[in-house]
Amino acid sequence: MYALANGLNLSHFQKIASFLYMEMLESGFTSVGEFHYLHKLLNAASSRRLDPLLSSKALIEASELTGIELCLLPVLYQQGGFSEPPRTEQEPFLHSSVDQFLDLIENLVKTFPETKIGAAIHSLRAVHPSQMKDLVESMKNRDFPLHIHIAEQPAEVESCLKYLNKRPVEFLLENFEISSRWTLVHATHMADSERVGLARSGANICLCPITEANLGDGIFPAVEFLEEGGQICIGSDSNIRIDPFEELRLLEYSQRYRLLQRNRCVEPPILSPGESLARQSYRTGAASLQLPTGSLKPGSRANFLVLDPAHSSAIISAPNSLWDRWIFSGSREMVKEVYVRGRQVVLNRSHVHRERIQKEFSNTLQSLYQEGLLAQDMD
């Protein structure tokens, strides 16, 4: 990963992002919160690091080409672990100071006024608490979304206890004014008191069940969190597979595995887990990115999907079971058309610019293979 991150130039980056956003749209995502920390890309001509503004610009251009709604979340990343200096290979991620990071945010807001800009803290291990406090205090009067990775794996919890004398979510709740502007990504490993405090705070939780399963991270206590009034949405994180239907399916099934019961993620009076999860994801996703999405009503963006009526999950039109059939029997292959802000971006399951984007992505991968930045074989 580090070899690839250190070898990417601006052209590589923009083409990879375009392919990703295209695939997200074709799968049924219409918005993306880009947790962006590969800031300093190579200048292809001189092999020098470029201004971080340019990598953000490449992401914005990718979103404009594909048509996906973008909330750009530049990430503050400063150290290699709790009380550890950054490693040499982490150089593309780093900002030397909070002021330097805030300058990037200011430049993005001024340069791209039509793009939703937020901010993110990579994790408690990657930013010193004093720097976190400086950043949050500096953004106090800005109504920006603020995201952070937290409590993803047991080792992170153990390290946090060792260096900060608190569990990760516990530390956050005790040291910051956590509110609906915050989104905590993963938050998998929490004590009961952390879970209750987080639900009461109004913060959004972004779960990435495919990635969390792929990495063996663990299972988020979604049933208890929802019963306590917590808010959850989904993300694609590592992009090992992009499929919002599968993310929701795996989220519900993980709770059934854990509790040995069926139909767990429900919000009474809605007794359908599929519909409950869909409503949660739309509502909380929009709040997490501070975008006017997630519903079709005056003032909201006209972002919507057209599913294939011939798919086996859609043949019967009984409305009380539609979401369950789509989520538990369907997949991204059901998505036939996608509209963002009323403009069609996917037609007959293919993005309107698929041929161009796929060709450029394929050429980029070939180039990276030839440069030795992607391994072609694994023993």
Q: Are residues 181 and 315 in the same domain?
A: yes
195 belongs to a structural domain: yes
Q: Are residues 231 and 260 in the same domain?
A: yes
Confidence of residue 111 (pLDDT cuts 50, 70, 90): very high
Q: What is the pLDDT of residue 320?
A: 80
Q: How many CB atoms lie within 10 A of CB 316?
A: 9
Q: Are residues 254 and 329 in the same domain?
A: yes
pTM for this entry:
0.96
Domain count, the chain: 2
Q: Are residues 96 and 151 in the same domain?
A: no
300 belongs to a structural domain: yes
pLDDT at 350 over 50: yes
355 belongs to a structural domain: no
227 belongs to a structural domain: yes
Mean pLDDT, rounded, for 291-311: 94
Q: Are residues 167 and 311 in the same domain?
A: yes
Q: Are residues 65 and 199 in the same domain?
A: no
250 belongs to a structural domain: yes
pLDDT at 28 over 90: yes
What is the residue range of 249's domain?
Answer: 145-341
Q: Are residues 212 and 321 in the same domain?
A: yes
Confidence of residue 376 (pLDDT cuts 50, 70, 90): low
Q: Are residues 61 and 205 in the same domain?
A: no
159 belongs to a structural domain: yes
pLDDT at 77 over 60: yes
Q: Show which residues are catalytic.
A: 186, 237
